[in-house]
Amino acid sequence: MYKEKEELPAVTGDFYEQSEKMYVATDCIIFGFDSGNLKLLLFKRRVAPLEGEWSLIGSFVKLDEDVSAAAERVLEEITGLKNVFMEELKVYGAANRDPGYRCISVGQYALIRLKDYDKELVEHHGAVWHDVKELPSLVLDHEQMVEDALEKLKQKARYQPLGFELLPEKFTIPQLQSVYEAIFQKELDTRNFRKKVFSHNVLVKLDEKDKSGSKRGAFFYMFDQKRYKKLVEKGNDFEVF
Amino acid sequence: MYKEKEELPAVTGDFYEQSEKMYVATDCIIFGFDSGNLKLLLFKRRVAPLEGEWSLIGSFVKLDEDVSAAAERVLEEITGLKNVFMEELKVYGAANRDPGYRCISVGQYALIRLKDYDKELVEHHGAVWHDVKELPSLVLDHEQMVEDALEKLKQKARYQPLGFELLPEKFTIPQLQSVYEAIFQKELDTRNFRKKVFSHNVLVKLDEKDKSGSKRGAFFYMFDQKRYKKLVEKGNDFEVF
DNA sequence: GCAAAAGTGTTGGGCGTACACCCATGC
DNA sequence: GCATGGGTGTACGCCCAACACTTTTGC
């Protein structure tokens, strides 16, 4: 970042005065899962310019705020949720990406449990869940962000247990399979799927059954975070699916 | 990025006037490969503050410049090289990461062929190649960047043919194996390695031999970009190693 | 009793891994 | 002729993919 003696001004409040400042924003690609489908939380702009168009939810990063903190703030402001899975996707840094002024955006994708979020808060912000297979056009480069996030999710889910982030704490194996089918966009074999998820010994079977999906009912399970962490520490870089 | 009606100022030169601008930089983690070891190009600061300390090479992103273009510019300014493999690593966005002024940095890692770069240019900038296993302390969060880049390289090299980016166009199989041993930080089995690299049919054997490494000499090969691209298009998401 | 989803095992093939010796050549 | 690195094949085990029927229960 520093190159030549001549380029370094004296130490002052702003060390780099001669250089060009710009806005840094962060946009959140917020995924949820419901009735067999991946959902995306979008916000409808109610004002010009781009009035009525759909957009991801984001914010400018403040001068005294970590970029990751900005994303967490946005997520909490709109859903009321903290401590959810969120990870950097990519920087969107084209010089002309924002007609307002030079602004780069750090895309961050999050996985949340649909039961948990604060519905009033979401409504108050005019945000709506959309099925990822039926998305409207989005402003700026947000469609690209969504595409990239879906691809990253697909890749990442193979090696990290992300599926659990989209389900309630108690979930059934058919539900879990359904999540992975939505992420990978293909059907999975029931027997092979069970074999694989059980093989790692990170699921705890409960006595309770979920009778909502069928007459017979399916047993609830929970994900054992501690056991998973131990596996990772032991250097098992296994495939989850 | 847009949230409430009240937050949108009228359209002017700077649409977002009330928000806070900051510097955006990019730092390049430039890898090379020589005599069995991964090398990193570092720059020694010759002035205060942090005089004499080693740093990655970077620059501020200009107002009218894509972030990726800034990284390409930095790389060319210091090595004379264009069109090399370069990819975004991660954003370094801690609020206090730079004592000069609020500045986020987009880390980008590059793989270059050591034979190709412009030695005079590198020297003129005071840059020096370091063995990655014997790195000095680096300024700011640059050590973290290097660590992250090495990890990413390890991951990525399994699924994408990155090894070729670090070698001359003509290379021998033992050289290629040596590159991968440096990336993965472990020894590989000669027979299995050959089996794997040949299995994809992306190497073209030349008649020429490289006699520099041994008396018997090893045949040169070239990487067949076209063939590789066809494989990828066909949806073969094979492991390279 | 029937519809609808939950749950359960086996087999074959391909792939990764482990392993040891001959070859070509310069000195 | 010997030292040095280049080059080759096989056997085993594991994991993945394909595949079909029984169980439970609400209606």
Per-residue pLDDT reduced to its tens digit, A184-211: 999 999 999 999 999 999 999 999 999 9
* Contacting residues of A for B122, CB less than 8 Å apart: none
CB-count exposure of residue A224 (10 Å: 0-12, 13-18, 19+): middle
* Closest-CA distance of chain A to residue B42, Å: 11
Indicate the DSSP class of residue B137.
-
**Is B146:B139 a contact under the CB 8 Å cutoff?**
no
**Is A55:B2 a contact under the CB 8 Å cutoff?**
yes
Taking an 8 Å cut-off on Cβ atoms, the answer to whether A106 and B99 are in contact is no
Taking an 8 Å cut-off on Cβ atoms, the answer to whether A22 and B61 are in contact is yes
CATH of A20-157 given 3.30.70.1430, 1.20.950.20, 3.30.530.20, 3.90.79.10: 3.90.79.10
CB pairs under 8 A between A and B: 147
- The C-alpha atoms of residue A193 and residue A195 are separated, in whole angstroms, by 5
E runs forming strands in B153-234: 171-172, 203-210, 218-223
Q: Please list the residue range(s) of chain A that carry CATH number 1.10.10.10.
A: 162-233
Q: Please list the residue range(s) of chain B that carry CATH number 3.90.79.10.
A: 20-157
- The C-alpha atoms of residue A100 and residue B18 are separated, in whole angstroms, by 12
Query: For B148-185, what is each residue's pLDDT tens digit?
Result: 999 999 999 999 999 999 999 999 999 999 999 999 99
A4 pLDDT exceeds 90?
Answer: no
**Tell me, in Å, how far CA of A216 is from C1' of D27?**
13
Helices A173-184 and A190-199, packing angle to 10 deg: 100
Report the Cα B86 to chain-centroid distance in Å.
Answer: 5
CB of A215 less than 8 A from some CB of B: no
State the pTM of this model: 0.91
CB of A72 less than 8 A from some CB of B: no
The amino acid sitting at A148 is D
Query: For B91-147, what is each residue's pLDDT tens digit?
Result: 999 999 998 889 999 999 999 999 999 999 999 999 999 999 999 999 999 999 999
- The C-alpha atoms of residue B219 and residue B206 are separated, in whole angstroms, by 7
B193 Cβ neighbours under 8 A, 6+ residues apart: B173, B177, B180, B241
* Contacting residues of A for B95, CB less than 8 Å apart: 63-66, 69
For A58, which of B1, B91, B103 is closest by C-beta distance?
Answer: B1
Could you tell me the fold of the domain covering B162-233?
Arc Repressor Mutant, subunit A (1.10.10)
**Is A220:A209 a contact under the CB 8 Å cutoff?**
yes
